[in-house]
């Protein structure tokens, strides 16, 4: 009973934070596409998302997101202002993705199917997460960045993250996934993977797990 009440309380906190964002968000001063300054509100959309709360995947609905449109001649594009932590065109948020990948690589008994069952998604979705992390950036670029930021901290964090993971199956995509995962977690320490991806993606459209995007900003 207490666990259920705690979970309900945390869900309420999530929704309260998003409601405050909806009420307090100011209209941007510049278009993200053309950098023009003639903008107006363009209604709203409702989002749904699956997030990790108290160690469980929770499906949330009715997440209100305001839309803004550019009135600059020759542009006219619109986009959605999302609450912090909600990624564009992604139902399973980065906290779920990071938890699922850790589970998959942490135990020799975990499979795509078992991770999918625990995270309320399909086997294909988990496989897509692995490919997405593998393709988001080159591990060598991330490693160079880590050494520039802090050689000592980088090594400690990499070994800490890598230490909880099992030996990766002899499959190139898995090798690259786990390398990128460890490096991204290290670069984002203490906020982790979600912080790094959110910082790189910002408000850009069409960054989803359905594609294999390269995000060079992560290496810079």
pLDDT tens digit string along 80-94?
888 877 887 788 988
Token pair, residue 209, equals: 């797990």
Mean pLDDT of 158-178: 63
Distance, in Å, from the CA atom of 49 to the CA atom of 155, rounded to the nearest integer, reads 34
Whether the pLDDT of residue 214 is over 70: the answer is: no
Please report where in the chains the tokens 């520039």 appear, as a residue. Answer: 148
Whether the pLDDT of residue 212 is over 60: the answer is: no
Q: How much is the mean pLDDT over the chain? A: 76
Which residues neighbour 169 within 8 Å (Cβ) at sequence distance 6 or greater?
none
Mean pLDDT of 203-207: 45
Please report, for the chain, the start and end positions of each structural domain, with discontinuous segments joined by +: 2-81, 94-219
On the question of a cis peptide bond just before residue 84, with omega within 30 degrees of 0, the verdict is no
Residue 166 or 65, more confident: 65
Distance, in Å, from the CA atom of 175 to the CA atom of 127, rounded to the nearest integer, reads 14
pLDDT, position 216: 42
Whether the pLDDT of residue 171 is over 90: the answer is: no
111-145 burial by CB neighbour count: b if 16+ within 10 A, else e?
A: ebeebbeebebeeebbbbbbebbbbbbbbebbbeb
Residue 160 or 71, more confident: 71
Distance, in Å, from the CA atom of 28 to the CA atom of 40, rounded to the nearest integer, reads 9
Distance, in Å, from the CA atom of 70 to the CA atom of 77, rounded to the nearest integer, reads 6
């Amino acid at each position: 009973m207490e666990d259920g009440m705690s979970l309900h309380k945390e869900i309420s906190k999530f929704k309260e934070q998003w409601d405050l964002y909806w009420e307090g968000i100011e209209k941007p001063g510049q278009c993200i596409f053309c950098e023009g300054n003639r903008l107006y509100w363009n209604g709203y959309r409702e989002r749904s998302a699956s997030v990790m709360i108290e160690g469980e995947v929770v499906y949330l609905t009715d997440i209100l997101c305001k839309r803004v449109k550019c009135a600059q001649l020759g542009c006219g594009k619109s986009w959605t202002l999302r609450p912090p932590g909600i990624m564009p065109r992604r139902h399973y948020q980065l906290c779920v993705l990071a938890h699922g990948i850790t589970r998959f690589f942490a135990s020799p008994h975990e499979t795509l199917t078992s991770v999918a069952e625990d995270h309320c998604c399909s086997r294909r979705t988990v496989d897509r997460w692995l490919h997405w992390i593998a393709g988001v950036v080159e591990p060598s670029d991330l490693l160079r960045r880590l050494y520039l930021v802090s050689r000592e901290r980088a090594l400690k964090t990499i070994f800490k993250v890598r230490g909880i993971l099992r030996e990766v199956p002899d499959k190139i995509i898995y090798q690259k996934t786990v390398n990128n995962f460890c490096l991204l977690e290290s670069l984002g320490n203490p906020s982790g993977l979600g912080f790094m991806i959110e910082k790189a993606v910002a408000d850009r459209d069409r960054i989803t797990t359905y594609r294999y995007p390269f995000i060079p900003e992560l290496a810079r």
